[in-house]
Structures are given as C-alpha cells and as structure tokens.
C-alpha cells in the first residue's frame, strides 16, 4: 500500500506544473546545461522516515544550501563567539553576491550571503575543510557524498566575483585562510552532489536539534543547530527574507542549482528541487511548492497551534490508606504552559488533604522549566506541611528533589492502586 | 501560597539589578522626566493567567509596542493585500526613524519602523482611528485604556522628524490620510497608557491566535495575527533583528518608554518594563530580562522541543465479536508529525485483520493536515477491503469521511469495550 | 545692421530643432500646461551687452536657477562660515529631491539640491526673504521682478515632498525658520518670473565677480560670487555633475521650467530656455544648446587658452641723459604668468646699466600677485645698486614701493621721451 | 640674483611649518618608513621655467598622482569613447578605496578612485603598459624615470584590497586585462619615482594643453588633456571634491606618499610634497601649502579676472588716398569677449565711410570664435557696400575670407602708413 503522504506530495508536483517561468542559473556553464524540467520533493520526519517523489534520485549540486551546514561546522570548530567575530547575523537587503559588510565592524552581515559564506568556509578548519564538511553531510545522509568536480571546475572558471569578495575580506582581516584557497574551497563545498532525499535528511537533522533521526548520532550541537536555524530564519532566503517569513514561515535556504530546504524545528525537514530560478535566484517552482507545503501542513512557526489545554487530566480526592489524599493525574509534556496550569491550580485552590499525589504515568517528557518550577512548588508544599508523593513509572522525573534538596515520596503505580483500592 | 512562578520572576528582577546603563528617551520631555528605576515583568499564558511582579501597576506609554496592534487593526480594516500595497514586510538595516523606502516600489520597508507605522496608522480606518485602536486594546486588557495626553502633547511639540517622514510618504502616494492628521494620530496611538499586566495580556492574545484568553473574544483574525507575529519576528527589534532572533528567538517589540513585549505562539505573552534605553533605543535591562526569560523557559522558536514520540499509545489485535480486529489507541494531538507516524505504521505493517479500529478517546485535537491525511489513508484501507471503525467520544473527528465521501463505522467507547470483552 | 552674434545664436536654435524629446515638468500643473515649443537663447558679456534670440521676452519661472542667487544672498547675510555650518559643498550622486544629508554632520550636502536650497532659503534673512531676493535679482536685471503667484499656488498644492524634506531638516536642527514658512517661501522664490534676457544678465553679473555690468553696482561680494560659482561648478547640474563638467566645462544651473544658465568667469553669462526636460530634469534642448555654445565659443574652463606670451613688448638699452638705461616696455595684464616672465628675464640676464626703466604705458592691470612680486624684485634691484624708474601714466601701479617701503623714481611718458630723445 | 619667486615659495614653507599633524601612510611598510619631515614646493610656468624650493631633489613615489596621466594615456590609446565605456566621470562621495560602481551601468564612477584607476591601467595598452607610462612621464620631465621596486614590492605584499576591486571589476566585465596583471601593473605605476620638480613639469604640461613647455613636444592631445583636467577638477581630491574646489579652485591630485599636483590651465603647474597625511589621505601640510599658493597667486578658476576691456585701441576716421576711411586699431587677443565688443561697436555705430580698415598689427592671437564672427561681420559689411581692408603683418588672420568666400583687401602696415600720410 502506497502512503497517502506520497500521494499528497505527487499532488504538489502536479499543482505546480504550470510554474514554468525562470531559467536555470546561467553564470555557471555546467548548471546552465542541466535539464530544467526535473522536479522532486522529499520530506523527512524527525523520526527519520523519508517520503520522496519525482526525480528524487537525481543528483545536483548543493550550492548555497551548503551554507547553513558549513556555518554549523565552523561553530563546532571555533566556538560561536569566535565565529561571530568574523561574521554577523543581521539580514541584508542587498543581493547575495554583494559584499554587504557591517559598517560598524567590517564583518560580512551574515553567513548566508556569499561574503559571509566564504568567510565561514575559511573558519571551518585549518586543513581539508571540504573533506570535513563532506563527512558531516555524509553522516546526515547515511552515504558518502562527493564533490561534482565538473561543476566545481566550471564555477572556478567564473570565480572573479567571489575572488573579489575574498580579497576584500582578506583586506578587512576577517578571512582565516588565503583568498584563493578560501574561494576554491568554497566552490568545491558548493559543488557537493546531493539528491532531494539527502537534503530532506539534512533538514530533518536540523529539525531534530542536530541528531540524525535514524542513526541517532549527534552531528551538530543543540545550541549550534539552534544558531544555524535562527540565521536561516532571518537571512536564509535572498532579497526577500521578510516576504518569505510571512508567507512560508519556516527557516529555509535555496541553492542556484534549484534546490530549497526548509526546516520545522521538532517536526520535519523538507527539500524541493526544480532548476528554473526566479529573479531572486531562488527556484521559481520550488518556492511555490514550499508555499503549498507550508500552507497545507500548518507549518508556519507563527501559527499558535491549538489553544493549550490543561495537563491535569484529573484531580480528585481519594481515600488512601488511613486518610484522604489529593491525586493529580497529569499527562502529555510538562513544559512552560502546562506546568503553569498545574501550579496555578494548586496555588489558587490549595489541597485540603495532607497527602498530595502527582501521577506522572501518562507524562511523556518534563522540560527544564517544568522541573525547576516543580521543585519550587514542592518546596512550598513541604513548607506548608503537605506530603508530596510522586508516581513516575517511566522515570521522567528521576532524581527529582525540592529546591532545598529535600526528598519526596516515590510510589509505583501499583502502590497507588493498592493504596486507593 | 504564592506561586513559584512569581518567585521566579522576582529572581529575574534581582538578577538584572546590575543593568543600570542607558538613559530614558530624552527627545520626548515627558519621558525624560520619568523615574528611570522602575522595573516590572508580567507573563500571561494562553489560558489567561497573568503573573506580574515589580511595578506592575505603573502606567507608562505603549510607544512602538502599539505598532503590531495597529498593523493588525489595519489588516482587519483593509485586508492584507491592500495593506501590503502600502507597507512592505522586509527587515531594514537602518535606524527606526529613517525613511527606509523600498527602492523598487517606494513603500516603507515594514510596519515596525516609524515610516511604516505612520502609514499603517493612516490605514486603520477613516474616522477616529485612535479610538478604534483603544477599543481593540481595551478588549485585550479587559479594561478601558486611555491616551496619556500630556505625553502626546510633549511628543507633538517634537514631531518634526515624523512630520518629515509623513510628508515624504504623502509625496510617495502611500499615505491614506493627510500628513498632519496621520502624525498627530500616530503620536496619540503611541501615547496609549498601559501597564506590564496589560501588555502581557495583549501579547498573550497574539500568542493565542487573536483570541483573548479570558473572555474568549476573537479580537484579531488568525491569519492577521500570524502576519503580525511574522513581522514582529523579522522586523520587530530595531537595528538588531538578526541578533535578537538568534539570542532570544521569539517575536518581540520594544517601545521607547521602556517596555518590551514578546510572544511565544501557542504558549505565552511576556512583557517587561525598565525605562533606561540602550544605543538601539531598546530598554537595556528589558533586553537582559527577556534573554533570561527565553533561556530559562525554553522559549526559543528554533529549539526542536522533544524528539517527537509516536501518537500510537498501543496497537494490538483483539477478538471483537466474531473476528479479530486491529485496534490502534491514539493519544495527544494529531498533527503533521504524529499522523505521519500512524500512517507510516499502517503502510509498512498493514493490518492482518479485516476490521481496523481507531480509538480516539485520548486524542485532544485533530489538525487539518491530520484530518486530510486520515481521509486519504481511509480511502486506501477501504479500497483494500478493510472496515474502518472510529471511536471518538469527544467528537474530535466529527463529520469525518474518506476522501471519496464514504462513511466509516462509528462506535462509542462502550461499544468497543462490550465488543472486545 | 544685425549683429553676426545674433545670427550665430539663431543658428544654434536651428541646429537643435530636432531635439524634441522629453516633456515639460508634469508634477507642477501650471508648468505642465506651458507651451513646450518655446525656445530662446541670451548671452550677456561682462561689459553688459545682451544678445537674445527666440522667445526672448517670454516669462517663465526661474525654479532651481534661483538657488545660486539665494545662496549668494544667504552668504551676504550670514557670512560664509555660518552658512557652511548649515549646508555643505559636496556633490551628491542622488537625485535633486533626495534628502542627501552628510552622514558625518547631518547637513544637506550642497545648496543646489532641494534640501540644501530650502535650508539656504531659511538662511537668507529673518523677514521677507523672498522680497529681498527679488530686490537682488531686480538689481541684476535692471527691472522689478515678481513672483508668478499662479505657479507658486500650483506648486504649493504639490509641496509634500519639500515639506517632508523641510521637517526632516528641522528635526536635524539645520533649518533657520519654521518648516512650513521655509517651504512656502522657497516655492515663491522658485516662482520668480524671468526671461532669458534677465537670466543672461544675472549670469553675467556672476561672470563679472558680482558687479552688474551696466549699472556697475556691486550686488554680491567678490568672494561670495566665487563661492557661488564654485558650487555651481561642482554641484550645479543634477545627477550628472561630472558629465556636464567634462562636456560643457562651465558652471551652470538648470530649472524645471526649462531654463539653464551658464557662467564663464570674466567673460560671459549665458541663458537658454526650452521646456521639455530629459530624464535628469534638465531642459533636453537646452543642454544641447549649451554644449554647442561651449564648443563653438571655446568656453571650456579646462582649455588652456593660448600658450602665454611675454608681457615684455621690448627690452632695449637706450641713452637717457648722461648714461645708458635699460628700458622694459610692458603690455597687457600683469598676472602670475606674465610677471614671472619679466622677473625671470631680469634674474637670468641682469641689466648692465644702473638705471632700469619699466614703461607701464601699455599695461592694463596689475594683479596682486604681480604687485607683490614686483615689490620683491625691486628690493633686489635696489639692494644691488640699481635705480628703478617707473613710467605709469594710467596709474596702474599707484602707491607702489619696494618690499621694505622704499620709493622708486616716477617718470611721466614725456619725461621718458625727453630723456631718451 | 635669486628670483623673488623662490623667496616667495620659501615663505610658504615657513608659514606652514606648524602643520605637523597627520602621519605618513602606514599601510605600505616602505612609505611608513619615510622621513616625515621632508617638504618641497615646485612651480612650473607654461613657458617652462621651474621654481623649486625645499627637498626638491628628493625622490618619492608618485602614487595616485599617476592616475591622471594613466587616464590620458588610456584615452590616447583607446579613444575617449571606449574609455568612457569602462570608466565614468562622476564624482564619488565614497572613500578612494571603495568599489563605487555606477548603479546604472556597473562602471567605476571615475578614474581617480582606485577601482577606476585599476580599470584605466588595464586600458593603457596591451603590452608593457608601465613602460609606456614611464616613457610618457619621461617626456614630460626631460629625464628617464623609473619604478621604485622596493616600494612596489612592499605594496604588492599588501594588495588584497586592490585585488578584491580588480576581481570584482573583472566580474563586471570592465577590466581589459587579467586582475592579477592589472593590479601588479597598477602598483608599479604608482611606484614611479619622482621629485616635486618632475611633478611641476608634468602639471605644467597639462596646463599647457598637453605640450611639454620646454621641448615643445605634444605628449597628450589637447582634447585628452582637457578631459584629464576636467576629471581632476571634479573628482581629483578624495572625499572632499567640493570642499577643495571651493577652497582652492584648481584641478589637483594627491598621492599617499605625500605629493599633490595642481594645474591652472594656460598658466602654471604646481607640486608640493610633505609625507604626513590627513584623515582624507591627502598630505596635510601639502593641502595648506596649496591653499596659500592659490590664495596668494589668484589661481582660483572661479575668480573673474579683471573686467574685460575693449580690444579696440582706437577707432578714427582718416583721409586715405582719395577718400575718408574708418580705421580700427585692434590689440591683444581676439576671443569671445573682445570680438564681441568690436562687432558691437560696428553694429551700433556703423562706419560712415566706404572703406573700413582693421589694423591687426598689435593683435597677438585670433581664436576660432573670433575668426568665425569676423567672417560673418565682413559678409554684412561687404553686403552693405563697404570695402574691408585688413592690415596683418604677423599673419594672425592669414587665409581670412568672408563667410561666403569673398576676399578682403590686404595691406601692409607700410601701405597703411603711406596711404594715410
């Protein structure tokens, strides 16, 4: 049985068939020669399932979509602070191939424009930076990836603009390697050969906080990944950051070979491919496909999701052993909004029994904010003379103490059942 | 018993006590005269509970924090398309009081800079635009709000820069009212008198998709709210949009009287207040407080949240009546990532029984993407000869049919319990 | 008998008849209504003769050609230093109606763009600045001039752009009067009604160092006039200062009603008129006429003129009274290049007689540099024992002494004739 | 006997001794090492006499003062039109080492900024451009000049900024040679070793319309020279073109080694030298020296010179042979302003005799405008029945005919004397 999700992605390809405007990038001879009618979509969830339709096995060059990953690698190598000394995080209203230095400190405005990406490339590491990046990408896509040396050679022959940027960056003192090396390395980086399937896995790795969904390998730090996604959100789509963000609402990056990746943190990675470019240098059909995907699948980050519900499934008073106890049955994730509700209920309507039982059997995860707030709440309850009992069969709260280090009482579900029977 | 959340907010105030740099806005005499040592924080969840500490009842002028709400009102009045013809959505690298027109079409770049906000003001409506906005804000904060006429008069006496922008906008043909009216109205808009408590309720209304959390009144459309938040995310914090977004990670807006609001869609609205401004014109201590709040409470939008878990609590084969049936017990929200897992399981491991029962008793909400995908999945199951049974006591899937309009079988939980007993 | 100069100017009109592109300024209704086929040329020498052909008596508004004269008046009123504190002298690459403030000090870049001209207007004087300027222009054109109130009213109705600039200038603190007053005054200044004949006289007054050629009245100081012409040279022609200067080579200023004035210092003032404007806002045919006039009449300031010749008409040794004397017969103007030659001759070939006679009968004028150098030369001659005799019937060197205050011998031409006979 | 002009130049050095601010260029190691206290002035008239004081024989590198001469050579090689396709003539408000491309056509704004100068260098000629320029300069300074290879090597090691510009220019398609070649050639061009005496001769050659004053060799075309001077006037002094032009009033160019040249067309070339630079990169003391020289010697181009006088020395009626004749004794140069006066006199007060005699014995030169106007005037006189007699012993009007090709009567001075005796 074919997944209806694949059917849906097929539909997107059909619906955008009429978007035939634009032309493949013409400044790189090898790209100009590519078949402009190819089209593909891939989606990968944070649990690692890939859905891919169209020319999903066609290889094309990653181009500027390499920038977020090179940025991630540079941060891992140098630390965020050092990278920020060389490249800013401000959106640029200029074209992607403008110098766009920050007037205050002479750094390129962000790592998504060429000047910033060349600088980032030079920061990746001292030797074999491209090999290092290929290794990183390979770990994300679960296969070895290679540079398309024909495309690289073709770009190298038209490299004056990037060389110009690189020498100016060197004059500015922000480049960490010789200009000629930085540019030839950067061009090879951009010539990494990938499929939409690969790109969807790469995007999903970002969506998953830097952990490859299938192998479970952490390939980028959680903070690094957050930084990469933040910069994609504010600076990723050339010349049209605001427009893209209001319309599509997820961090994204395009490449002049026709690819676009998009990331919904915590949920999915997306990749589309169609070589004809619009005036901004983004895949024309690719943009349209991303808009439909975002719209249909409620991906927009500024969408509120459902009105929050209580995480307290039930609160009742029950006879437990010799005395009455107040039992709160909690469920779902305990995060800011849910823990707030629990605490609010306890504060506004204090339990009338000595024992207060928190049943966490149905709780999936406890975020830091919830654990901290629970500690504080527990302190208040203990101070007022309550006994706090926790039922936590899945150990989502293991090691929990109150904010002064005092222990609570731990029961198994069976103990709770026995006690209250 | 005092809520530990209040204790936590008190801590934030203490921790930022050393941030004493900056000075109140000096170009508006009335603001310059304000007590610079006041400080307050308020937080309001999408369920409407407000936590407020510090000088939380002190009134101050809303200033630029009025811009998102005026933008929302203008969209409601004119429709998004007409508003976009007058004001863009692109971030500006310039200072907030620069003209910053889009070179291609002469519109102000976005509604968060003064030029765009004056234009937005002129679009709110033809008569009494300020009254209209006060009514909107009043509905959000559950009390009537007023213009601080002393501050308004003070600003009016120093209005040359805004008048200059307004006349240039008028020359450009983007202003919908006479320049003098637009500026005097805009100044009164900015002089609306609010507390951090008010601001937190306003932010929470945005976080809640435009519905006031306590009254349940829809004061802004869901799409309108999404547009407002998108623009706050990409253009809200002056001169430092990228920086803010990487560091704090939530849409926000500051005002020169010292307030800052922040919104985590679907979760909370935040407001802080401290009159001393940094070089960008943002509250210096306010920025620090927001950074700590975001960090402590995991608010960053680019954080992936927990690795997604299956929404399938259980899948078992059970004797039901005469034959075996496959029962899937679902839970939580059905959205893109969860429905994908359900479908993926059915596709990769098709049920071996004729009957397939979906138990939605523990499901909270079904998003559009999930409903649509379920329809398609159902079609496939029906086509293969399965019988699809839905148990939906809370009617989260009411009216559900397959993608060709075919009915499924509906059972109550009792029917399921009886059948399988 | 008609002057051949008039015939020549007629020729220019004929030769440019094919320049019919462009259109009259359309943003001022009254200007748009003007007959676009009118054409006129006038030329006025520094001796005051006016040659005018075509529609030379047609009145039109002076528009931006008023800027240099308003600048001159402001300098006379406030002093150059104070004016420079408000308006710079740097060329601007921007359009004439851009704000174009100097990023370092917030002043408008120069007085020829609108922002600088509005500022200049506000500096002219505290009361009745327009009347004052009309009086100045009247003194130049030898008739009372008036504001065309219909055009002024028409421009006042479309004044948003200039009001925008004025309010921004006020916010910047560079404006010396209220923005509304500055703009309405500036618009009336620009609506002064003139003919090409008037304009040629005005230009000739500048060419003549600020002295009206016919009346002999000094209407602008010599230094003021030099400043005005310098700014016209570097900033006068919108958007194309370099181009104009290389092609035409004289300071000039155009107005949107179709006029252009040009000034060759020390020689002539020129004015042309044709209402159709090119893309830069200059009269299209007017530019062509100016190019031909410059080319035909050798007006380009960077043309070297003829290789300089000696100012020494003759140097001979002659019996005068009892002894031989060296007689130098000088002629023409004594300026840097000529005095240098005289001195060079004396230094390299010192007189062999005790008496050295300088016959200045044919000398027209002695510039400061020549007087000073002569003083120094005389000191050297006296120190070496020579007697210096000066024959100066026209008193071009009256009061001359050597650099230590020593007297020379003065002879009349008759004494020289008698002595040498 | 020492020339008082030398004394005067010594005075300038003394008067500016207190200008000790600034520092030698520090970005080129060899320049930073130079003795900052050296100072020199040289002046050369269009007749070739050089006055030089101070360290006038010290060699230093020409740097940016080479730009006007390279521009002249490029125009001679390629023609002005082709050069203008590559480099514009618009002043730039940016620093000299900015790219400053014209947004409309992508050309560098002018040949005096580095981007324009590198482009100009590439246009000089296909092989050995530096040798070619050295030959040109050698012809101007009457000695072979050489590149200071130590300085060139020093600059080559810090060439990133210029290489950056060159690659970007190449990407733009305006460079006529490979970027690395253009920059290394440009650096050698700038390292040409000269003295102030050399520079004064070079400036004087420009002042003399392209003819070396002493050898009489035409080294640059007259039109080329005019173009070079025009661009020096509008774009020559970095960052301060308007300021310089209002203050000093002559075309000029500075170099970072501390030299400045200035040219007063038709009169003199000036050169000063002092290595300490101001914030604009111009010699601080050099600027002061140029200001004093301009002020003292009346060099400002916008100074009107003397009010023009009549070129008609005398007009009288005299008995010549059988009848009365009108005799006009002319003198000086016949140019626009003088011929106008002659013609004006004849038109307004037509001769009452049949014969009209023009005595040109005292006339120095007849410019084109005067010859053409005279032809037209003669036609009118002949048409009215006058006989036109010309006395022209120096043949300043040789070959003269009226505008229809009719001959006039030619007399020798003796014939005139005989006839009228």
Chain A residues inside the 8 Å CB shell of B45:
308, 336-337, 340-341
Confirm or reject contact between A295 and chain B (CB < 8 A): no
Q: State the sign of the Cα–Cα–Cα–Cα dihedral D194, D195, D196, D198.
A: negative
Determine contact, residues A308/A338, Cβ cutoff 8 Å: yes
Chain D residue with minimum CA distance to C297: D369
Give pLDDT, residue D305. Answer: 64
Nearest alpha-carbon partner for A254 in A229, A280, A234, A228? A280
| Segment of B102-106, B331-335, C332-336, D35-39 carrying the highest mean pLDDT | D35-39
Residues 371-390 of C with CB under 8 A from D: 372-373, 376-377, 379-380, 384
Chain D residues inside the 8 Å CB shell of C309:
364
Compute the average pLDDT of residues B355-361.
92
Contact yes or no for D336 and C267 at CB 8 A:
yes
Contact yes or no for C171 and B164 at CB 8 A:
yes
In three-state secondary structure terms, B41 is strand
In three-state secondary structure terms, D23 is strand
Q: Which residue out of B49, B104, B206, B230 would a mutagenesis test of the A interface target, given it has the greatest number of A Cβ atoms within 10 Å?
A: B230
Question: Could you report the average pLDDT of every consecutive run of 10 residues in chain D (421 residues)?
Answer: 86 92 78 86 91 96 97 96 94 70 81 95 90 97 96 93 95 94 97 97 96 95 95 78 80 94 92 93 93 88 64 81 88 78 85 92 83 89 93 90 91 84 64
pLDDT higher than 50, residue B308: no
Confirm or reject contact between D45 and chain C (CB < 8 A): yes
Confirm or reject contact between C169 and chain B (CB < 8 A): yes
Confirm or reject contact between A165 and chain D (CB < 8 A): yes
Of D3, D46, D309, the CB nearest to C343: D3
Chain D residues inside the 8 Å CB shell of A160:
167-168, 170-171, 179
Contact yes or no for B298 and A336 at CB 8 A:
yes
Confirm or reject contact between A99 and chain D (CB < 8 A): yes
Residue B377 C-alpha, separation from nearest chain A C-alpha, in angstroms: 6
- Summarize the annotated binding site of D for substrate as residue ranges: 64, 114, 155, 162, 186, 238, 256
Determine contact, residues D186/C263, Cβ cutoff 8 Å: no
Confirm or reject contact between A241 and chain B (CB < 8 A): yes
Chain C residues inside the 8 Å CB shell of B99:
99
pLDDT band per the 50, 70, 90 thresholds, residue B238: low
pLDDT higher than 90, residue A34: no
Chain D residue with minimum CA distance to C295: D369
Contact yes or no for C376 and D7 at CB 8 A:
yes
Neighbours of chain A (3+ CB pairs under 8 A): B, D
CA–CA dist B6, A294 (Å, integer): 38
Of C47, C307, C372, the CB nearest to D308: C47
Contact yes or no for D4 and C379 at CB 8 A:
yes
Q: State the sign of the Cα–Cα–Cα–Cα dihedral A110, A113, A119, A124.
A: positive
Give pLDDT, residue D95. Answer: 64
Three-state helix/strand/coil letters over C383-396: HCCCEEEEECCCCC
**What does the pLDDT look like over C51-105, one tens digit per residue?**
999 999 999 999 999 999 999 999 999 999 999 999 998 887 666 667 777 777 7
Residue ranges with strand state E in D292-421:
312-320, 323-334, 355-366, 387-391, 409-411
Give pLDDT, residue D154. Answer: 92
Determine contact, residues A191/A152, Cβ cutoff 8 Å: yes
Give pLDDT, residue A318. Answer: 85
Contact yes or no for A165 and D168 at CB 8 A:
yes
pLDDT higher than 60, residue C306: no
More confident residue, A308 or D294: D294
Give pLDDT, residue C95. Answer: 64
Residue D241 tokens, joined: 């073109």
Structural domains in chain B plus CATH codes: 4-296 (3.40.710.10), 312-420 (3.30.750.24)
Determine contact, residues D174/D87, Cβ cutoff 8 Å: yes
Chain A residue with minimum CA distance to D164: A164
Contact yes or no for B91 and A45 at CB 8 A:
no
Contact yes or no for D7 and C337 at CB 8 A:
no
Q: Which helix (H) or strand (E) holds D30?
A: helix D29-32
Compute the average pLDDT of residues A325-342.
82
Determine contact, residues A74/A124, Cβ cutoff 8 Å: yes
Chain A residues inside the 8 Å CB shell of D164:
163-171, 179
Binding site annotation covers C64? yes
Chain A residues inside the 8 Å CB shell of B367:
298, 306
Chain A residues inside the 8 Å CB shell of B333:
305-306
Neighbours of chain C (3+ CB pairs under 8 A): B, D
Confirm or reject contact between C160 and chain B (CB < 8 A): yes
Contact yes or no for B45 and A110 at CB 8 A:
no
Model confidence, pTM? 0.87
CA–CA dist A334, A360 (Å, integer): 10
* ipTM value: 0.86
Confirm or reject contact between B308 and chain A (CB < 8 A): yes
Compute the average pLDDT of residues C317-328.
87
Of D160, D168, D171, the CB nearest to A171: D160
Give pLDDT, residue A308. Answer: 43
Q: Which helix (H) or strand (E) holds D180?
A: helix D179-190
Confirm or reject contact between B160 and chain C (CB < 8 A): yes
Contact yes or no for D230 and C246 at CB 8 A:
yes
Chain D residues inside the 8 Å CB shell of A167:
160-161, 163-167
**Residue pointed to by tokens 């469920």:** A331
**What does the pLDDT look like over A210-266, one tens digit per residue?**
999 999 999 999 999 999 999 999 888 755 556 788 888 899 999 999 999 999 998
More confident residue, A374 or C312: A374
**What does the pLDDT look like over B58-97, one tens digit per residue?**
999 999 999 999 999 999 999 999 999 999 998 876 666 6
CA–CA dist D135, D129 (Å, integer): 10
Binding site annotation covers A27? no
pLDDT higher than 70, residue B143: yes
Task: Report the residue count for chain A.
Answer: 421
Chain A residue with minimum CA distance to D27: A171
Calculate what percentage of chain B has a pLDDT beyond 70: 95
Taking phi over 0 as left and psi of -120 to 50 as alpha, with beta for the rest, B77 belongs to alpha
Determine contact, residues A241/B230, Cβ cutoff 8 Å: no
Residue ranges with strand state E in C351-403:
355-366, 387-391
**What does the pLDDT look like over B194-232, one tens digit per residue?**
999 999 999 999 999 999 999 999 999 999 999 999 999
Q: Which residue out of B103, B167, B174 would a mutagenesis test of the C interface target, given it has the greatest number of C Cβ atoms within 10 Å?
A: B167
CA–CA dist D65, D145 (Å, integer): 15
Confirm or reject contact between D266 and chain C (CB < 8 A): yes
Residue D370 tokens, joined: 């005067």
Buried b (16+ CB within 10 A) or exposed e, A184-205: bbbbbbbbbbbbbbbbbbbbbb
pLDDT higher than 70, residue A309: no
Give pLDDT, residue C2. Answer: 80
Confirm or reject contact between D171 and chain A (CB < 8 A): yes
Contact yes or no for D170 and A160 at CB 8 A:
yes
Of B267, B302, B337, the CB nearest to A229: B302
Confirm or reject contact between C89 and chain D (CB < 8 A): yes
Task: Report the residue count for chain D.
Answer: 421
Contact yes or no for B90 and A242 at CB 8 A:
yes
- Chains A & D: contacts with CB separation below 8 Å: 49
**What does the pLDDT look like over A356-370, one tens digit per residue?**
999 998 887 888 878
Q: State the sign of the Cα–Cα–Cα–Cα dihedral A70, A75, A76, A82.
A: positive
């Amino acid at each position: 049985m074919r997944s209806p999700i694949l059917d849906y992605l097929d539909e997107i390809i059909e619906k955008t068939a009429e978007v035939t405007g634009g032309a493949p990038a013409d400044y790189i001879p090898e790209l100009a020669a590519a078949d402009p009618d190819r089209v593909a979509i891939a989606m990968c969830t944070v649990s690692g399932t890939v859905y891919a339709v169209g020319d999903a096995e066609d290889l094309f060059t990653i181009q500027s979509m390499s920038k977020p990953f090179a940025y991630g690698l540079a941060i891992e190598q140098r630390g965020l602070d050092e990278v920020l000394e060389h490249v800013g995080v401000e959106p640029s209203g200029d074209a992607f191939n403008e110098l766009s230095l920050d007037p205050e400190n002479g750094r390129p405005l962000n790592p998504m424009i060429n000047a910033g990406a060349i600088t980032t490339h030079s920061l990746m590491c001292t030797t074999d930076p491209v090999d290092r990046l290929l290794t990183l990408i390979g770990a994300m896509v679960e296969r070895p990836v290679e540079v398309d040396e024909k495309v690289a050679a073709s770009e190298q022959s038209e490299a004056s603009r990037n060389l110009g940027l690189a020498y100016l960056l060197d004059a500015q003192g922000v480049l960490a390697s010789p200009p000629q090396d930085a540019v030839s390395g950067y061009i090879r980086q951009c010539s990494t050969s990938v499929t939409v399937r690969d790109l969807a896995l790469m995007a999903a790795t970002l969506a998953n906080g830097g952990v490859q969904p299938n192998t479970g390998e952490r390939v980028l730090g959680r903070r690094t990944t957050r930084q990469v996604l933040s910069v994609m959100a504010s600076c990723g789509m050339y010349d049209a950051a605001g427009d893209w963000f209001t319309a599509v609402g997820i961090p994204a990056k395009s490449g002049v070979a026709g690819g676009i990746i998009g990331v919904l943190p915590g949920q999915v990675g997306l990749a589309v491919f169609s070589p004809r470019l619009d005036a901004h240098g983004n895949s024309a059909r690719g943009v349209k496909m991303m808009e439909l995907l975002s719209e249909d699948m409620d991906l927009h980050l500024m969408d509120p999701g459902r009105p929050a519900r209580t995480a307290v499934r039930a609160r009742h008073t029950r006879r437990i052993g010799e005395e009455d106890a107040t039992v709160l049955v909690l469920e779902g994730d305990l995060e800011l909004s849910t823990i707030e509700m629990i605490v609010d209920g306890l504060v506004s309507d204090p339990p009338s029994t000595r024992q207060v039982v928190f049943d966490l059997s149905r709780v999936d995860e406890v975020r830091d904010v919830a654990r901290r707030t629970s500690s504080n709440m527990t302190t208040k309850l203990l101070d007022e003379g309550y006994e706090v009992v926790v039922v936590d069969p899945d150990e989502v709260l293991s090691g929990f103490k109150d904010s002064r280090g005092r222990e609570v009482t731990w029961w198994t579900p069976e103990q709770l059942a026995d006690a209250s029977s």
